[in-house]
Amino acid sequence: MTRKRRIYDGILNALTYLSSGIAVIILVMVLQFVFVRGWSGVNFDLLSKPYWSGNNTIEFPQFKTGAFDRPDHLGDDIAFSEKLGIGLSDGLDAYKEHQVVVEYLDPESPLHHGVVSTAGVDLGKELGLSEGSNIVNLMLKDTDDKIVNVGAQRKSTAEETVAAMDNISEMRKIYFKTEGGGINGSLKATLYLIGLSLVIALPIGIAAAIYLNEYAKANRVTNAMRSSIELLSGVPSIIFGLMGVSVLFPITQLMGIHTVSIILGALTMAVVLLPLIIRQTEESLKVVPIDLRYASLSLGATQTQTIFKVILPSALPGILTATLLSISRIIGESAALIYTMGTFIADRPRLDQGATTLAVQIWSLMSGEQPNFELSSTISIIILLIVLALNVSVKLISYRINKKWSVS
Amino acid sequence: MDSKHHLISEAYQRRKKGWDKFFKGLFWLAGFISAIFIILIIVFIVRKGIGPFLPSYPGGAYPIGKFLTGFQWRQDSAIYGVAFIVINTIISALGALLISFPISVLTALFITKIAPRSLSRIMTTIVELLAAIPSVVYGVFAAGVIVRWVDSLAAMAGFSTYGGNSLLAVSILLAIMVFPTMTSLAIVAINAVPRELVEGSLALGATTTQTNFRVVLTSAKSGIFAGLILGLGRAFGEATAVSMVAGNSMIGPTFNPFNITRTLTSTMLAGLKETQGLDYDIRFSVGIILMAVILVTNLGIHFVKDRIGRSMS
Amino acid sequence: MKTFEIKDLNLWYGDFHALKDIDMDIRNNKVSAFIGPSGCGKSTFLRVLNRMNDLIDGTKITGQVLFNGQEIYAPESDVVTLRTKVGMVFQKPNPFPMSVYDNVAYGLRVQGIKNKAVLNDTVEDSLKKAALWEEVKDRLSDNALQLSGGQQQRLCIARAIALSPEVILMDEPTSALDPIATGKIEELMESLKKDYTIAIVTLSMQQAARISDYTAFFLLGDLIEMGPTREVFHKPNDKRTEDYITGRFG
Amino acid sequence: MKTFEIKDLNLWYGDFHALKDIDMDIRNNKVSAFIGPSGCGKSTFLRVLNRMNDLIDGTKITGQVLFNGQEIYAPESDVVTLRTKVGMVFQKPNPFPMSVYDNVAYGLRVQGIKNKAVLNDTVEDSLKKAALWEEVKDRLSDNALQLSGGQQQRLCIARAIALSPEVILMDEPTSALDPIATGKIEELMESLKKDYTIAIVTLSMQQAARISDYTAFFLLGDLIEMGPTREVFHKPNDKRTEDYITGRFG
Amino acid sequence: STDTPAAEAPAETPDPVEEPAEGLSGEIHVYTRDATSGTREAFEGGIGFDKDEETLTASAVETSGNGDMASKVGNDVNGIGYVSLTTDFAANNLKPLNFEGVEPTIENVLSDDYSLKRPFSYVTRAAGDFESDEAEALTRAFIAFITESEEGLSAVDGAGGIVDLSSAKPWSEVAETVDGFDPATDYSGITLRTRGSTSVDKTLKAALEAFQAEVAFEFNMDHTGSGDGFKRVLGEEKDGANAGDIGFASRKFGDNETVSDGMLSGEYCQDAVVVVVESSNPLSEITQQQIHDIIVGQLTTWEEL
Ligand SMILES: Nc1ncnc2c1ncn2[C@@H]1O[C@H](COP(=O)(O)OP(=O)(O)OP(=O)(O)O)[C@@H](O)[C@H]1O
Ligand SMILES: Nc1ncnc2c1ncn2[C@@H]1O[C@H](COP(=O)(O)OP(=O)(O)OP(=O)(O)O)[C@@H](O)[C@H]1O
Ligand SMILES: [Mg+2]
Ligand SMILES: [Mg+2]
């Protein structure tokens, strides 16, 4: 091998290393960007917590103050009311808004014994404050018989709230929120959407790919079909979204759904996914040697039998990849879903109602008045973890199939 | 010879042929459904998008000539000229491909043919992860990181930028966003190259590197170009992230990479949700233009591909 | 008795005229060999007989092909049934990426036969006839792609035999086989022709001479001549046939 | 003079012991033929000689393979240079998806030869030697995949010849060729062996007898015997060789 | 006071991109919102920009939202733009400018001293056009809650909306005056659907949650922009996929938006628009004339200021 060739080879090789290096660096930078902002927020609670806080107002028919000792384990940043036996701290909610958080509540505290004053079925039921709640507004009469409002809504700090509590003569009512800011609802909605979209898109996409690759003769109709599908893959998501509300919405209306819904989102995503699935499946069908088709047909198998018994099994890893890509696409989509599923974060998503996926929740968080990088990044990390998990499991399945179906 | 034919039931034969017909119909139907959507979309956009240029349009027709040849897009003064946006869109998307295409193909080559198996698994996973990051996150990344690179680069070149919001930032962003698509299709294509070809080349005294570049890439051409087209589609179609760094200029075209720009999708998106009347409907006209641009560039790529195919022979 | 009667057959691949005005009869329970130089259309002609060319886009066929007196290219003709009666073995071994057993059982299964005993018997029987049984009897559930090229081809023959077709088309079936296996296959052909009709494309003149009853010589898409093998080899009617047969051989 | 000296060679595909204790010399400017039943390891052995087995994962090799006295499996040995000196033609035709011309010019081009005239001459020359020139001279810029199987294989031979290697390894190079083309190739081998060393795997006993100077008989991974072709064919040392050679043949 | 609690916790202040110059020099980079934005309308109206006669400088950068504007101007030393008063200036590396010598504070907005401001408007569906009588009553009650009750107003106030708390009455009193609303009725199955402006998001969410603390009910906020507020309640999409009960706009409803068809309409709070520059910019004051000239492109460099 001449020196020149070795150098030339070296340069070309260096180019591939460089390219992959760039790819890795970019990924690392994107990941670092996401992780630095979001990692601190990742915990299991977030996955199981609802997004919306419960809002409660409670009153205290028999209210007595007591004398409580500050427990030793409370940190310095926690203000403690000796009259009510409650420890408060300043915190930030999902919107980076200030909160007054209940960190500690003495078991004997009178604040355990409220009754609901919110109009509705729960009116009059017993309900007390609990640790983790957030005091939005607390109305009391102070020792001068003056009405005082404190709490997050009044921009009081924990310190100020405790000061007011320690000066209490009569408790009027407390408006508090339970913990919120979780992504449980969006997570569920995302999974519903993935499931439903795939159920619609995979059979159609795979069948269409089979038609194009196995049956279609090279004629004008087929060409038109092929170009149509190719063109479909170039349609921007935003157009898909608008198409969803105008073309597909009537279909869901026939099902008796009159709002945006996960079903509408899934129908729309199915259209988005079709070209991707078709292309990917076709690629993997093309790899199946033509000889196998001949062999099967010459044994008196129908084309359908050939497809199901010989071709599809060989193309299975490719189809799995298509599925994986589809899932990634669904998880990452926002523009099309904003229109078809809405932007309301539902804690108990239903197929016939609107909800947000994780990505749309990010979009909502980022396009609001005060972009929330931290929570967005946290959600992104969770998305990445989901995708990673899927990726690994699809790989494992593919590997097992490959082992069964071919030598290499 | 004992024939097995007596074992074959007539009924099964009929059933099997029935199924064959049924499935063929089903497959055709699936293809038809998949293809029909583009028509629905086109009909839907065209119906809305042609409207503003018809005399019957409430408030009077907008002159189509001005729309197609205009070099200003000012919703505030109701001037809608799309020509410069088309140019900007094409420049930014081609810029993105210029950056991304070689990197994607070479990365795919690295993953499939060069890297040791464990590294290549990791790299594949990386590529797939990149594909799964929501575009909003890329937009945020671009608005937070890429614009700074561009800004410092511009400062070195002696330009002042709008905080890094620029044509170059858009192209870099799009390059990152289309990278996973193009790479994974290139990987599929390269993996499909028959082993005998590789052996044939090596046996002729080609080095592995020469084999990779001359035989593997050539044989994988059609799959690689499929990825290119898909990537281009994504580059044209991306809206949310792009509008975060494009700067959305009102005049153009933009040739200076450090200047702000405007793309067709960011135009369609800007304030879409809050608007109505002509300003709303004309976005569908932009949609038609966008589809046309995508179509024409696809044809262009096919042409180039054929040329490359021929010039290699 | 004629199994196939071909009249005035022409075949085009797009613009390429691959078969020209072919008239031929293929006789019952005989072995017909097709010989001729590479690219002359032997494989193409063989594939006409079970309509395998249907699968190639842009193929155009004119003329008549009668199988047991029935036009196989007629619109109402049933190509699937045709292929169960006209089996085929290809030039390159093409086993399915399944187990050895499943490969052989495939043809029966797609006919709806599920009976285990029948399947087991047929698989064993066919593999024995294809001279492969001894080598694979302990590897029936291994992937067929793990066999060597020659083993793969014999598997394909077994697979075709399993269906007990009326006619077996073979496209250079032994070109990937060693002499011993070739011998066994030739023996098998000998025994098969008692009940079946065989059409074989071969590149080996000796093979044609040894096993066939009739020989057809093709050249550049034309059927130069066809007749009893002995006549074609010993007193060919056409100068070109003679040149070819007496030329240097493999 | 010995071009290759192989000592105590063993080869495993994973756990499968494919070549067992092979000792062999391959002589300069002679044609050595490797025969044996399907799956006996002929192809595997051939691929040892240009280190083509390097590409198969899980292959393990022990022993010595000397080429012109140099160990080709030594760490410092340059496999690329080795392969330019040891050309190869495969069992299945494997032309590149490029034009006919580019296929033949490929080997030269990867050596850095760009001179148009040299390329043109070599392409024409090689195609002529491979008995393909007449058929493709007007189709040089057509894609090679459009040729028939036999044409493709001859193209692959032309491609190997174009590099004027010292040794040419051929793995059943004529199994897809018709007699006329086979004859030309055999003629070509005859003329090549004046300057080159040829190792050929063949399934045709006649071919081996006709063209080779030395014949090696493999069985189940063992080299049963090797010697001058006449001796191996007329008075083999081993009973198994005799059985194989006098058995029914192709 | 204006110092919102979030101002205390700027997680990470972006570094200024370039070193601040002593008297800033060079081209002024104008940032604006898209033409349909309510903030932009309020801003342009407030600086005496005549839409029909004048045009915005062609070199302006269009941003897609308040947050986008904030981060972009905060990243560009030469940038000038405008954001809502609720914006976290410090976190975005921004400096708010006094307008016509008046500091942008809630007090100054309420006292009308500060003139760059806009209303948050609402309109409900037409009377009788609700999904149920309960929904209609609940809608009335909610509107009364955010416009009259102390609980509602302080929730809006807490979320950064500018409201006059002085005339507020306790909800218990206000509730009694609402037609058809009965606190004893169970509203927990009713969903209030709010639509329209994204700018009202924060204040409205606080108000809805506070209302939930008083009356158990469900709400569904699906806000995409001011233009949809009317459309989805009274306009062309009022029976479409995204129909709503109350529509919001971060501006006055337009002439072609016939809010008089609605059961109720009005304004529930105000928002001020603040002219901002990057924090290292030495500028701290701006006049109406100056910003006007910058916007129309007559003033193009910092030196001229
Ligand atoms: N699908 C096809 N499209 C176009 N031309 C084809 C096609 N298949 C074969 N041909 C051409 O038709 C001619 C006959 O091909 P065929 O494969 O029948 O030859 P053959 O006699 O079987 O040759 P061989 O002995 O090499 O297999 C050849 O010239 C070949 O190039
Ligand atoms: N990559 C591989 N992995 C595992 N086993 C293999 C591999 N390649 C070949 N073998 C096995 O090694 C043995 C020798 O194979 P080889 O291809 O060398 O046989 P051959 O003599 O060339 O046969 P044929 O005449 O059929 O080509 C066979 O039993 C085959 O199944
Ligand atoms: Mg053939
Ligand atoms: Mg072999």
CA B174 to chain centre: 9
Question: What is the mean pLDDT of the segment spanning A235-245?
Answer: 82
B156 and B148 in contact (C-beta within 8 Å)?
Answer: no
* Interface subset of C 175-214, CB within 8 angstroms of D: 175-183, 186-187, 203-207
| Average pLDDT of every residue of chain C | 86
DSSP class of D216: E
Half-sphere exposure of C35 (CA within 13 A, CB side): 31
Q: Please check the confidence at residue C94 and state whether its pLDDT lies above 90.
A: no
With a 6 Å cutoff on the Cβ, whether D38 touches ligand 2 is yes
Instruction: Please report the pLDDT score of residue E165 as a whole number.
Output: 87
A381 and A36 in contact (C-beta within 8 Å)?
Answer: no
How distant, in Å, are the alpha carbons of B162, E79, E84 from that of E70?
13, 10, 9
Q: CA D94 to CA A238: how far, in whole Å?
A: 47
How distant, in Å, are the alpha carbons of A297, D161, D165, E71, E259 from that of D151?
27, 15, 22, 67, 82
Q: Which residues contact residue A211 at a Cβ distance below 8 angstroms, ignoring those fewer than 6 apart?
A: B24, B27, B28, B30, B31
pLDDT in tens, E97-144: 999 999 998 889 888 899 898 889 999 999 999 989 999 999 999 999
CB-count exposure of residue D213 (10 Å: 0-12, 13-18, 19+): middle
* Interface subset of E 171-210, CB within 8 angstroms of A: 183-188, 198-199, 201-202, 206, 209-210
Interface probe for A, chosen from D80, D85, D163 (most Cβ of A below 10 Å), is D80
pLDDT in tens, D27-85: 988 999 999 877 789 999 999 999 988 878 889 999 999 999 999 999 888 888 889 88
Q: Which H or E run includes D218?
A: strand D214-219
Q: CA D47 to CA D86: how far, in whole Å?
A: 10
Give the domain extent around A386. Answer: 184-407
pLDDT in tens, E215-240: 999 898 888 777 788 988 998 888 88
Q: Considering only CA atoms, which residue is closest to atom 3 of ligand 1?
A: C13
A116 and A57 in contact (C-beta within 8 Å)?
Answer: yes
Using pLDDT thresholds of 50, 70 and 90, give the confidence band for residue D153: confident
Strand residue runs (E) in B226-279: none
D197-201 and D167-171 strand pairing? parallel
Q: CA B50 to CA E221: how far, in whole Å?
A: 34
CB-count exposure of residue C63 (10 Å: 0-12, 13-18, 19+): middle
pLDDT in tens, C129-173: 877 898 888 989 888 888 876 788 789 888 988 888 889 899 888
DSSP class of C166: S
pLDDT in tens, B150-190: 999 998 988 888 888 999 999 999 999 999 889 988 998 99
| Average pLDDT of every residue of chain D | 87
Mutation to probe ligand 1, out of C15, C34, C42, C218 (largest number of atoms < 8 A from CB): C42
Measured between CA atoms, how close is C214 to chain B, in angstroms?
Answer: 23
Angle at C133 between CA C127 and CA C137, to 5 degrees: 115
Question: What is the mean pLDDT of the segment spanning A300-307?
Answer: 89
Q: CA D133 to CA C151: how far, in whole Å?
A: 35
In a domain, A133, yes or no: yes
E79-84 and E29-33 strand pairing? parallel
Instruction: Please report the pLDDT score of residue E17 as a whole number.
Output: 43
Q: CA D15 to CA D43: how far, in whole Å?
A: 18
Q: Ligand 1: residues within 6 Å at CB?
A: C 13, 16, 18, 38-44, 56; D 148-150, 178
pLDDT in tens, B68-107: 998 988 877 888 999 999 999 999 999 999 999 999 999 9
Per-residue tokens: A243: 């198409």
Per-residue tokens: C126: 């066919």
Instruction: Please report the pLDDT score of residue D176 as a whole number.
Output: 67
Q: Please check the confidence at residue A291 and state whether its pLDDT lies above 90.
A: no
Using pLDDT thresholds of 50, 70 and 90, give the confidence band for residue C192: confident
Q: How many CB pairs under 8 A join C and D?
A: 108
Q: Which H or E run includes E245?
A: none
D54 and D83 in contact (C-beta within 8 Å)?
Answer: no
Angle at D215 between CA D209 and CA D221, to 5 degrees: 130
CB proximity B219 to A under 8 Å: no
Q: Please check the confidence at residue E11 and state whether its pLDDT lies above 60.
A: no
Question: What is the mean pLDDT of the segment spanning C40-62?
Answer: 89
Using pLDDT thresholds of 50, 70 and 90, give the confidence band for residue B22: very high
Question: What is the mean pLDDT of the segment spanning C49-55?
Answer: 87
Q: Please check the confidence at residue E82 and state whether its pLDDT lies above 90.
A: yes
Q: What percent of chain A has pLDDT over 90?
A: 24
Q: Which residues contact residue E23 at a Cβ distance below 8 angstroms, ignoring those fewer than 6 apart?
A: E282, E302, E303
Q: Please check the confidence at residue E6 and state whether its pLDDT lies above 80.
A: no
Q: Please check the confidence at residue C223 and state whether its pLDDT lies above 90.
A: yes
Both A217 and A74 in a single domain?
A: no
Q: Which residues contact residue E141 at a Cβ distance below 8 angstroms, ignoring those fewer than 6 apart?
A: E175, E178, E181, E211, E215
Name the interface residues of B facing D (CB cutoff 8 Å).
194-207, 210, 214-215, 218-219, 312-313
Q: Which residues contact residue D56 at a Cβ distance below 8 angstroms, ignoring those fewer than 6 apart?
A: D13
Biggest alpha carbon–alpha carbon distance for chain C? 56
In a domain, A43, yes or no: no
3-state secondary structure E60-121: CEEECCHHHHHHHHHCCCCEEEEEECCCCCHHHCEEECEECCECCCHHHHHCCCCCCEEEEE
Q: Please check the confidence at residue C109 and state whether its pLDDT lies above 70.
A: yes
Cβ-defined contact of B4 to C80 (cutoff 8 Å): no
Q: Considering only CA atoms, which residue is closest to atom 7 of ligand 2?
A: D13
B273 and E224 in contact (C-beta within 8 Å)?
Answer: yes
Per-residue tokens: E46: 């407030």
Count how many domains chain A has.
2
A331 and A197 in contact (C-beta within 8 Å)?
Answer: no
CB proximity D80 to A under 8 Å: yes
Both A193 and A342 in a single domain?
A: yes
CB proximity D58 to A under 8 Å: no
Per-residue tokens: B277: 């009347």
Both A86 and A69 in a single domain?
A: yes
Instruction: Please report the pLDDT score of residue C22 as a whole number.
Output: 93
CB-count exposure of residue A115 (10 Å: 0-12, 13-18, 19+): middle
Instruction: Please report the pLDDT score of residue A124 as a whole number.
Output: 87
pLDDT in tens, E170-194: 998 999 999 889 888 889 889 999 9
Burial E72-84 (b: 16+ CB within 10 A, else e): bbbbbbbbbbbbb
CA B263 to chain centre: 14
* DSSP codes joined into one string, D52-105: GGGGSTTEEEEEEEEETTEETTSTT--HHHHHHHEEEE-SS----SSBHHHHHH
Q: What percent of chain E has pLDDT over 70?
A: 92
Q: Please check the confidence at residue A15 and state whether its pLDDT lies above 70.
A: yes
Instruction: Please report the pLDDT score of residue E15 as a whole number.
Output: 44
The helix/strand/coil state of A128 is coil
B85 and B73 in contact (C-beta within 8 Å)?
Answer: yes
**Last-in-domain residue among A127, A160, A177:** A177
Instruction: Please report the pLDDT score of residue B61 as a whole number.
Output: 87
* Interface subset of A 218-277, CB within 8 angstroms of E: 245, 249, 258-260, 264
Per-residue tokens: C37: 């130089």
Instruction: Please report the pLDDT score of residue D164 as a whole number.
Output: 87
Question: What is the mean pLDDT of the segment spanning B270-292?
Answer: 79
The CATH topology of domain B68-312 is: MetI-like fold (1.10.3720)
Using pLDDT thresholds of 50, 70 and 90, give the confidence band for residue E4: very low
The CATH topology of domain C2-245 is: Rossmann fold (3.40.50)
Using pLDDT thresholds of 50, 70 and 90, give the confidence band for residue A206: very high
With a 6 Å cutoff on the Cβ, whether D87 touches ligand 2 is no
Using pLDDT thresholds of 50, 70 and 90, give the confidence band for residue B265: confident
User: How large is the ipTM?
Assistant: 0.74
Instruction: Please report the pLDDT score of residue A405 as a whole number.
Output: 55
Q: Please check the confidence at residue E2 and state whether its pLDDT lies above 60.
A: no
Q: CA C147 to CA C165: how far, in whole Å?
A: 25
In a domain, A302, yes or no: yes
What are the residues facing C223 on neighbouring strands?
C218
Task: Provide the residue type at B267 as one letter.
Answer: T
Both A196 and A171 in a single domain?
A: no
CA C81 to chain centre: 17
Contact list in D for residue C249 (CB cut-off 8 A) is 179, 182-183
Cβ-defined contact of E34 to B75 (cutoff 8 Å): yes
| Average pLDDT of every residue of chain E | 85
Instruction: Please report the pLDDT score of residue E158 as a whole number.
Output: 87
Question: What is the mean pLDDT of the segment spanning C44-50?
Answer: 92
Strand order in the sheet with C197-201: C70-71, C59-67, C2-13, C16-27, C222-228, C214-219, C31-35, C197-201, C167-171, C86-89
Half-sphere exposure of A324 (CA within 13 A, CB side): 28
Q: Which residue has the tokens 């990197």?
A: B103
Q: CA E124 to CA E128: how far, in whole Å?
A: 11
pLDDT in tens, B282-301: 888 888 898 888 888 888 88
D31-35 and D214-219 strand pairing? parallel
What are the residues facing D204 on neighbouring strands?
none
Per-residue tokens: E37: 């934005």
Instruction: Please report the pLDDT score of residue C77 as a whole number.
Output: 85
Tally of CB atoms within 10 A around C234? 11
With a 6 Å cutoff on the Cβ, whether D216 touches ligand 2 is no
Both A211 and A83 in a single domain?
A: no
Per-residue tokens: A319: 């189809």
E98 and E284 in contact (C-beta within 8 Å)?
Answer: yes
Both A190 and A232 in a single domain?
A: yes
Contact list in A for residue D78 (CB cut-off 8 A) is 1
Cβ-defined contact of E183 to A264 (cutoff 8 Å): no
Chains adjacent to B (≥3 CB pairs closer than 8 angstroms)? A, C, D, E
In a domain, A232, yes or no: yes
Are there at least 3 beta-carbon pairs closer than 8 Å between C and E?
Answer: no
Q: CA A23 to CA B178: how far, in whole Å?
A: 12
Instruction: Please report the pLDDT score of residue B7 as a whole number.
Output: 64
How distant, in Å, are the alpha carbons of A9, A264, B30, B44 from that of A244?
51, 7, 19, 11
CA proximity to E222, closest of A125, B192, A310, A259: A259
Both A342 and A220 in a single domain?
A: yes
